[in-house]
């Protein structure tokens, strides 16, 4: 039941994010990232990525009107799905939901080795996320979102005890480009040009 899973994930994301005093980046955004499904044999997975405003934007970031987001997987390819969950109710206080994404993807075949354990698979499935923007005065801004502030709090890998540790893998990244974030008083809205996964993968949701 993905609706029930999504509701449970909301509660666990909020609980984890409330333990943070502030975001690790000047944009004030934190990510809660979880997997409801993974087939360890084929590498097919479903991912739930939520962006939350957990602190006020700082410095030059407070003045920007649009932000571009770049998401990369070093060992997987993904596309966004149109799966809809029950929307989180509007919240004035932080953490406040910014945007929720649902991805369907597959680990690249060269990384799928028989006998890979959960920690190895987890490393392949953690994306890197960067934000870029330009101030009204023309200054270019760049920041990265920490991927371990609220990662795997529900679903696959949530039983592992070191999900807040550093996870890296060296490989040419797969980039899901074209995400534009428009800043408004009530939050962020992302307009995306999506990259379609080239391999055949199972549908979900």
Question: So what's the pLDDT on residue 113?
Answer: 79
Q: How many CA atoms lie within 13 A of 193 on its CB side?
A: 4
Neighbours of 92 (CB within 10 A): 6
Torsion sign across C-alpha atoms 43, 46, 50, 51: positive
How would you classify the pairing of strands 150-155 and 29-38?
parallel
Question: So what's the pLDDT on residue 91?
Answer: 64
How do the pLDDT tens digits run along the chain, 205 residues long? 778 888 999 999 999 999 998 999 999 999 999 999 999 888 999 999 998 999 999 999 999 888 888 888 888 988 888 766 555 666 668 899 888 888 899 998 888 877 678 888 898 899 988 888 999 999 999 999 987 889 999 999 998 855 544 443 334 444 554 555 544 333 333 333 223 332 333 333 3
Q: Which residues does 4 contact at the CB level (< 8 Å), separation at least 6?
A: none
């Amino acid at each position: 039941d993905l609706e029930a899973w999504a509701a449970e994930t909301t509660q666990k994301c909020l609980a984890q994010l409330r333990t943070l005093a502030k975001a690790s980046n000047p944009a004030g955004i934190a990510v809660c990232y979880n997997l409801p499904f993974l087939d360890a044999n084929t590498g097919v997975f479903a991912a739930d990525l939520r962006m939350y405003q957990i602190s006020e934007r700082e410095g030059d970031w407070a003045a920007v009107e649009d932000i571009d987001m770049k998401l990369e997987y070093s060992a997987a390819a993904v596309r966004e799905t149109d799966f809809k969950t029950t929307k989180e109710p509007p919240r004035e206080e932080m953490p406040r939901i910014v945007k929720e994404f649902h991805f369907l993807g597959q680990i690249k075949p060269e990384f799928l080795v028989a006998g890979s354990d959960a920690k190895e698979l987890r490393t392949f499935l953690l994306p890197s996320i960067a934000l870029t923007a330009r101030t009204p005065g023309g200054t270019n801004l760049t920041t990265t979102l920490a991927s371990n502030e609220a990662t795997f709090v529900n679903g696959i890998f949530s039983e592992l005890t070191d999900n807040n540790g550093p996870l890296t893998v060296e490989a040419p990244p797969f980039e899901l480009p074209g995400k534009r974030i428009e800043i408004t008083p009530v939050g962020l809205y992302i307009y995306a040009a999506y990259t379609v996964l080239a391999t055949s993968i199972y549908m979900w949701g």
